[in-house]
Every structure is written in structure tokens, then in C-alpha cells.
Amino acid sequence: MKTIERFVKRMFKQKNPKQDDQEAMQKMIEMLKEKVEDLKETGLTEEEAIQKTIVEFGEIDAFFQPAVRREKRRYKRQKTVRHYRNDLVFSLLASLLIIAIFALINIFYIPFESYGPWFVIPSIGVLFWPLSLLYKWLNKKGDSD
Amino acid sequence: MQISSDLIRGHLELVVLKLIIEKDHYGYELANAVAHRTKQAFSINEATLYAIMQRLEKRGLIQSYLGAKSHGGKRRYYAITSLGQAYYETKLKEWEQLKSIMTQLLEGDHEND
């Protein structure tokens, strides 16, 4: 019979760790024990009866309404394809600006002749930013198509 | 044929109330009665049954008491309250109505209406 108690307690803990509803839990234990007793009367051993009870129990989700979790999810901002596109445009403009600054420094302050066009190197690094956003945008577009 | 539980779910409350009105039952007895009466065409598992009982009890439609000791231990029996009786009658009317509407909609040939 301890098995039944453990089964119910674990289930309650899993589904509803915050709310400690002792009364509801006791009632469920009671009900399942009644079933075990009845099954024993039909000729099953205690172990078989407990096994059968647990197997036949079914899904408990009907009892616990995961209302709290669902509420939270609703308030989370959903990014649409448009958001991703805006992100991409922003990153493109910003990286062009950064590259332009590097290029200007390269041209006016550190001459090409002695150091070569070094601004290309940081530019490549910066371009990974719009590249990753392009990837995300295309992914999102693929999802919604 | 197994009946999908979605279809019957909304009416299970009514079924449980009906059984309890006939005679005080304890939990597993109810599950058994459902299976027995439908000749195993429909069975209700403990999780669902338990959820229904909790709901009905919270709303004061049924009440529970510990019965006399029998066999292994005490059993918790459920009995109907007057509120439950009234609720059952309203719901039963609703069901009759639904039944006749569904019959009208799904049965017979209405092509020339």
C-alpha cells in the first residue's frame, strides 16, 4: 500500500510542486486503495492489484489545470517575420556605419601605402552580425510559409 | 467500438450524478458501474473520475462520508446533495434537448426541406 501512497505523492509533486493540497491527495490515495481492496477480492494478489491500479490510472492532467504557466506564455512577445526583417535592416545599417568609420580612419590617418587596406579585417568580423540575423530571418520566413 | 473520450467528457458529470442519485457509491464502484452498464464499451479511468468528483464536491453537488468498515478498510462514499439533485435535473433537460437537436441534424433525409 506504500506503493500507492508514493505513486500519488510523486505525481502531485511533479504536476503541482507549489500548491500543497494535502486533502485532495489523501482522497486520491483513499480512492486508489479502495480499488486495490476490491481487486484483491476478485482474487488478485496485493502486488498484482497495486500494479493494475497504477497502470489503469490514466492521465492526471485533467485534474491540474496548468493555468499559471499558460498565462505567462501568453505575455511573452511573439517575434514575427517583420521583427526579424527589421533586426536585419538595423544590423546591416549599423555594420555599414562601422565599416565606413574603419575605412575613413584607414584612408585619412593610417595611410594605405605603409599598412595596406587593413580595415577589411574588422569589417569581415562585423559582417557576421547581419549574417547571423539574415540566417534567423530566413529561418522564420521558412517557418511561416 | 471505443468512444472517444472527447465526445463524452462533457456529459460525464451527468453520468456520475445519476449513479450517485441511484445509490451512494464509492470511487472505484463508480468506475466499475460505468464499465459494467456500458458492457465495457466505455470505461472511465481513475484520473478522470477523480477530477470530476473533486469538482462536484467543491461545488457542493455531492458530499462524501466515510462508510462502515468493510473488508480491507473504510470506504469513502459519495452522496447527492439537494443542490446536486437540482443541478442534475437541469443538466438532464439540457441533455434531452441536445439529444433531440443532434437527432434532427444528423438523422433522416432533409434534402428537400
The total number of structural domains that make up chain A: 2
CATH classification of B5-106 is 1.10.10.10, yes or no? Answer: yes
Q: Which three cell numbers stand for residue A136?
A: 534567423
Question: Which of residues A36, A68, A100 is at a domain's end?
Answer: A68
One domain for residues A139 and A89: yes
Is A75 inside a domain boundary?
Answer: no
Is A74 inside a domain boundary?
Answer: no
| Inter-CA distances, A130 with A31, A102, B35, B65, Å | 61, 17, 63, 69
- Give the sheet arrangement for strand B76-80, strand by strand: B25-26, B76-80, B62-66
Instruction: Decide if A30 and B76 are in contact by the 8 Å CB cutoff.
Output: yes
Using an 8 Å CB-CB cutoff, list chain B residues near A51: none
Is A126 inside a domain boundary?
Answer: yes
The residue of chain B nearest to residue A39, with distances taken between CA atoms, is B28
**Domain coordinates in residue numbering, chain B:** 5-106
One domain for residues A94 and A138: yes
* pLDDT on residue A66: 46
What span, in angstroms and rounded, lies between the C-alpha atoms of B84 and B62? 6
Q: Are A138 and A126 in contact, with CB atoms under 8 Å apart?
A: no
Q: Are A16 and A66 in contact, with CB atoms under 8 Å apart?
A: no
One domain for residues A47 and A85: no
What confidence tens digit (pLDDT) does each residue in A55-65 have? 888 766 655 55
Looking at residue B4, the DSSP 8-state letter turns out to be P
Instruction: Decide if A53 and B46 are in contact by the 8 Å CB cutoff.
Output: yes
Q: Domain range for residue A15?
A: 2-68
With vertex at residue A56, the alpha carbon angle to CA A55 and CA A59, rounded to the nearest 5 degrees, is 95
Q: Which three cell numbers stand for residue A62?
A: 485533467
Closest CA to B14 of B80, B100, B103, B91: B91
One domain for residues A60 and A91: no
Residues of B with CB under 8 A from a CB of A: 26-29, 31-32, 45-48, 50-51, 53-54, 64, 71-73, 75-76
One domain for residues A93 and A53: no
One domain for residues A63 and A91: no
DSSP string, B21-86: HHS-EEHHHHHHHHHHHTTTS----HHHHHHHHHHHHHTTSEEEEE---BTTB--EEEEE-HHHHH
* pLDDT on residue A67: 43
Question: Which of residues A25, A45, A68 is at a domain's end?
Answer: A68
Is A73 inside a domain boundary?
Answer: no
Residue B93: count of CB within 10 angstroms of its CB? 10
ipTM of the predicted structure? 0.71
In a structure prediction context, what are the per-residue pLDDT tens digits for chain B, which is 113 residues long?
566 666 777 788 899 999 999 988 888 888 888 888 888 888 787 888 888 888 888 889 999 888 876 656 678 889 999 999 999 999 999 999 999 999 999 887 666 55
Please state whether beta strands B25-26 and B76-80 pair in parallel, antiparallel, or not at all (unpaired). antiparallel
Q: Are B19 and B25 in contact, with CB atoms under 8 Å apart?
A: yes
CB of A83 less than 8 A from some CB of B: no
Is A76 inside a domain boundary?
Answer: no
Looking at residue A118, the DSSP 8-state letter turns out to be T
What confidence tens digit (pLDDT) does each residue in A95-119 have? 999 999 999 988 888 777 777 888 8
* pLDDT on residue B22: 92
Is A99 inside a domain boundary?
Answer: yes
pLDDT < 70 regions, chain A: 16-20, 59-77, 145
Question: Which of residues A13, A42, A68 is at a domain's end?
Answer: A68
* pLDDT on residue A68: 46
Mutate to test the interface with B, among A34, A55, A59 (most CBs of B within 10 A): A34
CB of A53 less than 8 A from some CB of B: yes
